[in-house]
Structure formats: structure tokens, C-alpha cells
């Protein structure tokens, strides 16, 4: 790993120095860049209007500039850019788990929360959507259950899109690249008057696919995706504002570029299966936000709705033989309501009170063809979840001593889970009903506390945090014993200490954190006793410990640098499968031991030219590993690094970019799994190169 990092940093330095050496008509860009000091950015996900510097938590903020410069087009492309954040590529938008500090979930409910413009994304199948017109991404590491509730054990990702109250104008962006990649993005942001703003943004993305199916000679993973977003903000008065944000995405995607893994040669064979596999999804979200500001308090009410309708068709054996084929349909309707009242002003005592309620309904169906047995079976699920919560947070400044702030919070979270399950089979033309089950409803009442101390020392902030995390239990559709019908919630305690401080006369900002997580009653994916099927069982107890480092410079003489590093040591203290098999002291799968990112940028102002105004060079190195792919720790991906590059040319309202991802064409495994007695692997995407043309009016 050390050599790869050294070589990549040397490469970055050579690129910048070479451009400077050839600089004839170029000079450092002395134009003052409009930016906000990182420490003063208000973290929207905090719900209490606290700044990055003052929040007692490890946070990464990825700005719109960084998103554009690094061609970040989906959530998995911020992997490693935010330290200890990892989202593997599973071959389709359906399965999109996120891991933070080793906490994550490959199946069932997520362990990391996602919010997009006040809409909670409770279903992982909605996580992987196309980015466009994003203002910034906030990644809060560590349990966030006190303010956000269920399934936020690992942390929260909060995505904020551009508002017409912050930006006015029209933009159009055209992009084209190899592998038949092209996209069109356009948006208009305007105001009817000083109090009413509106925007509409459209996005289209096409890709021919990166992987070829040897059986058909066609690409496996072609993609067509259409996106839309509308925003309206009406400031009725100086105190009252109403806002509505609606978004829609329609995607049609081939998927699952899985190849058999040759264990003796340690290579992936050719992708070679006979039945076309795909994932199609419609996703609609809408949020209505009402804000009222009084003299001493603020009231924020957020009502959100999300609809998801998808279909997965998959050749389950991934071979030229017709063995198994699965069609899985899912419909989700989710409605949530949150009401927050919080104090206003820089007082010694600040408080926040909130109430939350949600309703989530699933209508799922799974059809399975087992060709050799001439069998087909059908499973249907009618699944409903509802819950409510009350939460409070108080902050006391100058607690006991000057500059020490105590922040304490607690949440009471209640939930009810109901499932109706039907299982039918057709075997050699004969129909049979194998199960028609109404599960006993699951009810839970959880107390989620959080306590933090923040000490301000001159321009630095030191903090310690103790927080509890919790993830809901659920049902198993495959079981052979009464005790395996359901599985219980899992819990964690998170202990964290960190410092945020400016260095080198405020030219460099540093964020350092250390953490220790005790994760109990862990939900483990296991086979049923007969070996015919899988289920979730509370069979694990793990510990995750490590830290994060983030360094970011302010722009100076056209230069910008960013370095992040995350270390996670996540192991099973106890993971007992049966009397003869356990994975005690093994590393947790899907968790990179190291994540690292290094970004270097250089801006140049072109002198005496009627063609160009500015040139900007940006390079980003991202590394991750080692990553174990199974609980046995028998297969892993060693540390690997990806280098991205971009050169941008500016002339008034025009911008032209040449970009590349995986510039060194690094070979790596993006995903590995075992099924039906075989080993399968998905290799990482090859080098991509393309260009953009952007115009603003």
C-alpha cells in the first residue's frame, strides 16, 4: 500500500510541476475565489444550525465544487473521499449498502441513514441515484439515532441540492465519454420577485456498459436514466417560509456483471450466462417544508413522501445453463412527518424539541424458476411498518468551566412491524400452497441517548462523545424452527474523541477523530439448519475501532490540497455458526481497513488571451483496502488505488473539461460472493475518459 501511495503522490506532483514548467502565457490566478471558511459552514443535518467547527462529531463536507471537479455522479463515488466511508459496487442500483466505520448491512434494512432534501431514504434500493445540481454532501460518522432514530448506527449522509434563493440563472452541460457514455444536464433557477423562487432541473444519462457477456456478445450493464427536480420557495413574510421539493428518477439498467472466479489461477473468468438480467426502477420523492421564525424560537415542519417501484430479473446461477431465474418486484410507499421547535440566538442555553412519525408500506413479490426440477414458486409479501418518536436536545455553554459546552440528547422511539407472507409452488404442473403466514407483529420501544462535550481552545475545538445506536429487528421468510421466525434489534455504543483546528495561520484546517464501537446482538446472515436457504440471526458481537484524519487548505496562489485518511479495525468478538464453526476474531466483511484520498488542484489565469480566461488542473487519488469479502476471511481484495484527473478551460460563461477516471487502469475486485457451490467476482470498472461542455446564462 505504501508504494502505491508514494507513486501516486509523485505522479500528482509531476503533473502540476510539468504544467507550471510549460507556463508561458500563464500566471497564478489571483482572482479571489468566493468561498466560505469550512469551519463556519452550517451543518444542515445537525437540525440545530450548528457550524462544522462547533459540532461535536466527525463530519465530512463535500462541496459542489468538489463534486464537479471530481466528476462525482453517484453516492458510491464518494467512497474514501470521506474517510471510513465505503459503498461497494454490486452491479446494479438495487443493492446499495453503505458502510461507515465498519457499520453496515448488505441485506435487510440499512445501518447508515440517507436524507435528500429532507426526505428520509429508508430503503437501500433507493440509495444509488444519479447526482445533478447538488449543493453539498454531509457525512456524519457515528450513531445519529438521537435526532434521526432507527437504522443510523453507522452515521448519516445528508444531501442538499441547489436552491433558487442561493443561485440564479440557467445552465446546460453536455458530456460524452468512452463505453458509449453521454449525459445531458440542464437547469433554470429564477425568482418571480424577492419572495418567490423556483427551479427546474433535468438530467439524462446513458451508458453502453463496461462489461461484455461472452455468451451473448452484448454488454451486460447498459444504462438509461432520466432525472427531474422541481423546487419552489415562497417567503410569505419575514417570519414564514413554505418550500416544496419534488424529484423523480426513471432508470433502465442491465446489471450483474458477475463472472466465475478461478480459485487455482486467482482470476475472474469471462462473464458467461445465458439469460438477460436487469434492474428497472421508478423513484419519486417530495418534501414540503414550513419554517416559522419567532423572536426567541424557530419552528420547522417537514412532510415527505417517497414512492419506489422496481423490478429485478436475474439469472441466479450466472452460467450458460438454465438453472435458476428470479423475478423480484417491489413497491414502496413511505410517508413521514417531523416537527421541530428550537431556540433561537446565541444564548448560553439552547434547546431543541421534536416529534416524528412515519408509515412505510411494501408490496413485494418474488417468482423463482427452477428449471431442472420443473418447479416454479411464488412468494408475496404485504409488509407495513409504522412508528413515532419524541426527542430532545439541550446545549449548555460555559458548563462548569468557561468555553466548555455540554450537549445532551435523548429520543424515545416506538415502532410496529407487520408482515403477511404467502408461498405457492407449481411442481410438474401441480399447484400447492406451502405457506400462508401472518407473522406476529413486532413492537419495540427504544431509548436512544447521546452525550457530548465540546471545549473551545482559542480557534480549536476539542470534543468527546458517547452515543447509543440501534437498528430494528425483522422477519425471516425462510425458517425451519420457531425461534428463527424473527430476529431482534441490534445495538451499539460509540465512544469518540476529536479535535478540529486551523493550522499554519488558518491556511490549513485539520479534523482528527478516534472512535471505539461496541456492537452487540449483531444480525448475521446464516444458512438454515438444512442448508436450503438463508436467514438473519442475532449471532454476533463485534468491535470496531480506528480514526479519521482530514486536512484541507484554503485556495492560495491558485493551489488547493485535500488529504483524508481513515483506519478501521472491525472484528468479530463472537460469531458462532454452530458447535464446530465460528468466526471469532475474524475481520468483518465489506469493511476497508484503510481509506485514503488526496486531491490537488491548481488554477491558472491566462494573460493576454481572447480565447481563454482560466485553466484549472485537478487530480484525485482514492485508495481502499484491504477488504475481506466473507466472514471466513478466505477471500480478500488487497489495497488498491484509483487516480482521477480533470483539466478545465474557462472562457466567460463557457467551460470545457477533459476528464478521466481510473487513469492508471488499475485492476481490482469490486465485489465477491459465493453461491450454489461457486465463487463469483465482479471486477472494477476500467479506465474512463470523456469531455464536458458547459454554458451558463
Does the reported pTM lie above 0.85?
Answer: yes
Cell of 57: 462529531
Sign of the torsion angle spanned by Cα atoms 635, 639, 640, 641? positive
Q: What is the DSSP letter of 664?
A: T
Mind listing the pLDDT tens digit for each residue in 295-339? 999 999 999 999 999 999 999 899 999 999 999 999 999 999 999
Give me the mean pLDDT over the 241-265 stretch: 94
Mind listing the pLDDT tens digit for each residue in 553-566? 988 888 999 999 99
Report pLDDT for 11.
46
Report pLDDT for 531.
63
Mind listing the pLDDT tens digit for each residue in 601-618? 999 998 888 889 999 999
Mind listing the pLDDT tens digit for each residue in 525-557? 887 776 666 788 898 999 999 999 999 998 888
d(CA 617, CA 604): 9
Question: Taking 90 as the threshold, does the pLDDT of residue 216 lie above it?
Answer: yes
* Of residues 233 and 580, more confidently modeled: 233
* Ramachandran angles phi, psi of 33, nearest 5°: -85, 130
Q: Are 286 and 230 in contact (CB under 8 A)?
A: no
Question: Taking 50 as the threshold, does the pLDDT of residue 12 lie above it?
Answer: no
* Of residues 424 and 10, more confidently modeled: 424
d(CA 657, CA 56): 38
Q: How confident is the model at residue 28 (pLDDT cuts 50, 70, 90)?
A: very low
Place of cell 464536458: 692
CATH tag, 2-696: 2.40.170.20
* Ramachandran angles phi, psi of 426, nearest 5°: -120, 115
Mind listing the pLDDT tens digit for each residue in 448-494? 999 999 999 999 999 999 999 999 999 887 777 878 888 999 999 99
The set of residues, in sequence order, having a beta carbon less than 8 Å from that of 681 and lying 6+ positions away, is 258, 259, 261, 268, 669, 671, 672
Report pLDDT for 15.
47
Report pLDDT for 82.
95
In 505-533, beta strands by DSSP E:
508-527
Report pLDDT for 19.
43
Cell of 362: 411494501
Q: Are 162 and 64 in contact (CB under 8 A)?
A: yes
Q: How confident is the model at residue 37 (pLDDT cuts 50, 70, 90)?
A: low
Angle at 689 between CA 686 and CA 694, to 5 degrees: 145
The set of residues, in sequence order, having a beta carbon less than 8 Å from that of 249 and lying 6+ positions away, is 129, 130, 225, 226, 227, 228, 281, 282, 283
Question: Taking 60 as the threshold, does the pLDDT of residue 571 lie above it?
Answer: yes
Alpha carbon distances (Å) from 368 to 207, 276, 324: 29, 15, 7
Strands 155-161 and 112-116, bridge-based pairing = parallel
* Ramachandran angles phi, psi of 77, nearest 5°: -85, 0
Question: Taking 90 as the threshold, does the pLDDT of residue 513 lie above it?
Answer: yes
* Ramachandran angles phi, psi of 65, nearest 5°: -60, -45
Mind listing the pLDDT tens digit for each residue in 82-137? 999 999 888 889 878 899 999 998 877 899 999 999 999 999 899 999 999 999 99
In 397-504, beta strands by DSSP E:
404-427, 430-438, 442-457, 460-471, 474-475, 486-487, 490-503
* Ramachandran angles phi, psi of 692, nearest 5°: -125, 150
Sign of the torsion angle spanned by Cα atoms 127, 128, 131, 135? positive
Longest Cα separation, the chain: 83
d(CA 625, CA 567): 10
Mind listing the pLDDT tens digit for each residue in 341-362? 999 877 899 999 999 999 999 9
High-pLDDT (> 70) share of the chain, % = 94
Angle at 639 between CA 637 and CA 643, to 5 degrees: 115
Q: Which of 330, 326, 317 is nearest to 282 (CA)?
A: 330
Cell of 342: 428550537
Question: Taking 60 as the threshold, does the pLDDT of residue 8 lie above it?
Answer: no
Q: Are 123 and 114 in contact (CB under 8 A)?
A: no
Report pLDDT for 535.
84
Lowest average pLDDT, out of 86-90, 276-280, 687-691, goes to 86-90
Q: Which of 117, 120, 160 is nearest to 138 (CA)?
A: 160
d(CA 663, CA 578): 46
Amino acid at each position: 500500500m505504501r508504494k502505491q501511495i508514494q507513486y501516486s503522490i509523485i505522479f500528482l506532483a509531476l503533473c502540476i510541476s510539468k504544467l507550471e514548467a510549460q507556463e508561458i502565457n500563464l500566471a497564478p490566478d489571483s482572482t479571489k475565489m468566493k468561498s466560505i471558511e469550512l469551519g463556519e459552514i452550517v451543518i444542515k443535518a445537525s437540525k440545530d444550525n450548528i457550524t462544522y467547527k462547533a459540532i461535536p462529531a466527525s463530519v465530512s463536507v463535500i462541496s459542489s465544487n468538489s463534486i464537479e471537479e471530481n466528476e462525482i455522479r453517484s453516492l458510491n463515488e464518494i467512497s474514501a473521499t470521506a474517510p471510513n466511508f465505503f459503498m461497494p459496487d454490486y452491479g446494479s442500483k438495487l443493492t446499495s449498502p453503505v458502510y461507515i466505520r465498519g457499520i453496515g448491512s448488505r441485506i435487510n434494512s440499512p445501518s447508515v441513514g440517507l436524507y435528500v432534501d429532507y426526505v428520509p431514504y429508508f430503503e437501500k434500493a433507493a440509495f444509488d441515484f444519479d447526482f445533478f445540481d447538488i449543493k453539498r454532501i454531509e457525512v456524519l460518522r457515528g450513531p445519529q439515532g438521537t435526532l434521526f432514530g432507527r437504522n443510523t448506527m453507522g452515521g448519516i449522509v445528508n444531501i442538499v441540492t441547489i436552491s433558487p434563493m442561493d443561485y440564479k440563472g440557467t445552465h446546460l452541460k453536455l458530456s460524452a465519454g468512452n463505453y458509449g457514455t453521454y449525459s445531458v444536464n440542464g437547469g433554470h433557477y429564477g425568482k418571480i420577485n424577492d419572495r418567490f423562487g423556483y427551479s427546474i432541473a433535468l438530467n439524462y444519462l446513458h451508458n453502453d456498459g463496461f462489461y461484455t457477456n461472452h455468451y451473448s456478445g452484448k454488454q451486460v450493464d447498459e444504462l438509461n436514466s432520466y432525472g427531474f427536480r422541481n423546487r419552489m420557495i415562497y417567503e410569505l413574510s419575514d417570519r414564514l417560509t413554505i418550500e416544496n421539493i419534488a424529484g423523480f428518477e426513471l432508470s433502465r439498467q442491465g446489471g450483474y456483471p458477475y463472472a466465475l472466479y478461478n480459485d487455482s489461477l486467482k482470476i475472474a473468468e469471462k462473464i458467461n450466462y445465458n439469460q438477460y438480467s436487469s434492474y428497472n426502477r421508478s423513484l419519486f420523492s417530495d418534501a414540503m417544508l414550513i419554517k416559522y421564525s419567532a423572536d426567541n424560537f424557530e419552528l420547522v415542519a417537514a412532510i415527505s413522501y417517497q414512492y419506489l417501484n422496481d423490478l429485478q430479473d436475474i439469472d441466479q446461477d450466472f452460467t450458460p445453463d438454465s438453472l435458476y431465474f428470479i423475478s423480484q418486484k417491489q413497491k414502496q410507499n413511505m410517508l413521514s412527518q417531523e416537527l421541530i421547535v428550537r431556540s433561537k440566538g446565541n444564548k448560553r442555553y439552547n434547546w431543541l424539541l421534536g416529534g416524528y412519525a412515519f408509515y412505510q408500506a411494501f408490496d413485494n413479490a418474488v417468482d423463482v424458476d427452477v428449471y431442472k426440477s420443473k418447479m416454479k414458486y411464488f412468494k408475496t409479501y404485504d409488509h407495513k411498518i409504522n412508528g413515532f418518536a419524541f426527542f430532545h436536545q439541550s446545549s449548555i455553554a460555559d458548563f462548569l468551566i468557561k468555553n466548555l459546552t455540554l450537549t445532551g440528547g435523548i429520543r424515545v422511539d416506538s415502532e410496529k412491524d407487520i408482515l403477511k407472507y404467502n408461498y405457492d409452488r407449481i411442481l410438474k404442473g401441480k399447484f400447492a400452497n406451502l405457506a400462508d403466514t401472518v407473522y406476529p407483529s413486532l413492537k419495540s420501544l427504544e431509548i436512544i441517548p447521546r452525550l457530548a462535550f465540546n471545549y473551545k481552545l482559542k480557534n480549536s475545538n476539542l470534543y468527546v462523545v458517547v452515543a447509543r445506536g440501534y437498528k430494528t429487528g425483522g422477519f425471516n421468510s425462510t425458517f425451519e424452527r420457531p425461534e428463527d421466525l424473527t430476529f431482534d434489534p441490534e445495538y451499539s455504543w460509540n465512544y469518540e474523541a476529536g479535535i478540529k483546528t486551523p493550522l499554519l495561520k488558518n491556511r490549513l484546517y485539520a479534523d482528527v477523530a478516534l472512535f471505539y464501537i461496541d456492537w452487540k446482538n449483531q444480525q448475521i446472515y446464516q444458512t438454515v439448519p438444512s442448508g436450503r436457504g438463508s436467514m438473519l440471526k442475532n449471532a454476533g458481537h463485534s468491535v470496531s475501532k480506528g480514526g479519521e484524519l482530514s486536512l484541507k487548505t484554503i485556495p492560495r496562489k491558485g493551489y488547493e490540497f485535500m488529504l483524508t485518511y481513515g483506519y478501521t479495525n472491525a472484528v468479530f468478538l463472537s460469531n458462532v455458526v454452530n458447535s464446530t464453526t465460528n468466526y471469532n476474531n475474524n475481520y468483518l466483511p465489506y469493511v476497508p481497513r484503510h481509506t485514503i484520498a488526496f486531491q490537488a488542484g491548481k488554477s491558472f489565469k491566462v494573460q493576454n488571451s481572447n480565447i481563454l480566461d482560466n485553466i484549472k488542473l485537478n487530480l484525485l487519488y482514492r485508495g481502499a483496502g484491504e477488504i475481506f469479502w466473507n466472514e471466513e476471511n478466505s477471500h480478500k481484495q488487497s489495497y488498491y488505488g484509483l487516480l482521477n484527473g480533470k483539466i478545465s478551460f474557462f472562457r466567460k460563461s463557457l467551460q470545457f473539461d477533459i476528464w478521466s477516471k481510473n487513469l492508471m487502469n488499475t485492476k481490482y475486485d469490486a465485489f465477491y460472493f459465493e453461491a450454489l457451490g461457486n465463487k463469483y467476482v465482479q471486477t472494477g470498472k476500467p479506465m474512463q475518459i470523456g469531455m464536458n461542455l458547459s454554458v451558463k446564462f
